[in-house]
Amino acid sequence: MAASSLIPPHGGTLVNRFADADRARELTSAASGLPKITLTTKQACDLEMIATGAFSPLEGFVGKADFESICREARLANGTVWPIPITLAVDDATKASLSEGGQAALFHGDGTLLAVIDVREIYPHDKKLEIPNVFRTEDEAHPGVRAVLDEGPWLVGGPIHVITVTPQVEPGEQFTEFRLPPAKTREAFAAKGWKTITAFQTRNPVHRAHEYLTKCALEICDGVLIHPLVGETKPGDIPADVRMACYQVLIDNYYVADCTMLSVMPGAMRYAGPREALLHAMIRKNYGCSHFIVGRDHAGVGDYYGTYDAQKIFDDFTPAEIGITPLKFEHAAWCTVCEGMTSAKTCPHGPDEKVFLSGTKVRELLAQGKRPPPEFSRPEVADVLIKWATSEQPVGA
C-alpha cells in the first residue's frame, strides 16, 4: 500500500524542519555569535514536535496574528483549525538581546545547541487573552494556567532550523526504539497495509476501560496506535518509563500483534481539556491516523471541564476542517451483571453493579502491594505498578 493512501497531514504537507548536514554545520558555526535562548522543558518538547512535523502545518513558534487568532477562534490566521498557541516565551533580559529580522540560537537546558530561529516577531505575551480562552479558567491552581503565568512576558515568533532534538545529556529514558516521528509511523502503517488507524492518547497506564475502547475501535479500523505522551507532565503523574512498561506488558499479553503498534509522542501536556483534545487529534492526523479516540474528560484535570466537553468541541468544526474522525466513547466500566465491559449505551444496570475505583483508592492498593480487582486492571499491569509504588512511593500516597 502506498503511503499516499493514508490521511493527509493537517494543512496538506508534512513539515520537516531538520537542517541537512551541511546546513547544520553552518548553523552550528553561526550560533556562537547569536543571542542565546535556553528552552524550558515544555519549549524543548514543542521544538521537537515542530521539527518532526507532528505540529504540521507549523514551521516554527507562532507570530502575533496566529497567536491572537488561535486564542480567540481556535484557528490560525489563515483559517486552519489549530486550538493551542505554540509559543516561545522569553524574559525581559533575553528580549533585550534579540532583534526582529535577526536570529537566535536555541539551547536545551543541558547546554545542547538544538536549533536556530529566525526572529520574525517579538511581541507582548498577552496572557489575559490566552489563559481564559485556551483553558476556560483563570484559576492559578490549574497546572496549564500556572505554567503560562510562569512564562516570560514576551513571545518570539518565527520559523526554526533544527540541528538536533536529542540533548547531549539525556534526561532519563528517551524511548529511542519507540520515538517514531510522523514520517516513520506513516511508513510503518503503509508497510503493515493499514489504511485506517485509530490513535489512543494516554498519559496514564491503560486499565480495562481503556483496553475496551481501543478494542472497540479496532473492530472498525485496520490497526490501533497506542500513543502515550512522554513529554512534560505535571508532578504526581506516573513516570513515563513505568507507564511504558505497563503498555508493553499489556500489548504483549492482550493485543493482536499484527493489529497493534506502540510509539511515543514527545509532546508536553497543557491539561487544556477540550482544546487539547482537538490538538491531540490534529497531531495524530499528522502521524497518519484516520481515527482518534476521545473518551471521558480527555486531557482534563480536576473538575475544570465537563465530562464530555472534549467531545463536544469537535462539533464546532466541520469534518473536512478536522480531517480525522473522532470516536466519542462513553465512560466504560465492568458490569457485574453483564459480566463484561460496558457503557451507558450498552448496559441498563446502575452504578451499584459497576466496578468503579477512584485514583486515590487505586494508589492506596498499589502502595500496599495489592492488585486492584481484575475487572479494573489486568494483573500484569498491576504488578508493574505495584513494583513502582512500593519502591518509590510512600504507603498511602
As a whole number of angstroms, the distance between CA 392 and CA 387 comes to 8
As a whole number of angstroms, the distance between CA 354 and CA 334 comes to 6
- Residue whose C-alpha cell reads 512511593 in the numeric block: 393
Instruction: List the grid coordinates of 287.
Output: 502521524
Half-sphere exposure of 103 (CA within 13 A, CB side): 17
Please count the other Cβ atoms lying within 10 Å of the Cβ belonging to residue 1: 13
Among 16, 179, 204, 296, the active-site one is: 204
Count H helices and E strands in the chain, helices first: 14, 15
Instruction: List the grid coordinates of 127.
Output: 496572557
- Residue whose C-alpha cell reads 516554527 in the numeric block: 60
Please, which residues bridge with residue 229 across strands? 265
Please count the other Cβ atoms lying within 10 Å of the Cβ belonging to residue 158: 22
As a whole number of angstroms, the distance between CA 294 and CA 286 comes to 17
203 is catalytic: yes
As a whole number of angstroms, the distance between CA 376 and CA 189 comes to 31
204 is catalytic: yes
Angle (CA) 218-222-227 rounded to 5° is 65
Angle between helices 64-73 and 127-135 (to 10 degrees): 40
Best CA proximity match to 59, nearest among 125, 96, 15, 107: 15
Among 203, 208, 270, 275, the active-site one is: 203
Q: Tell me, what amino acid is at 215?
A: K
List, by residue number, the catalytic residues. 203-204
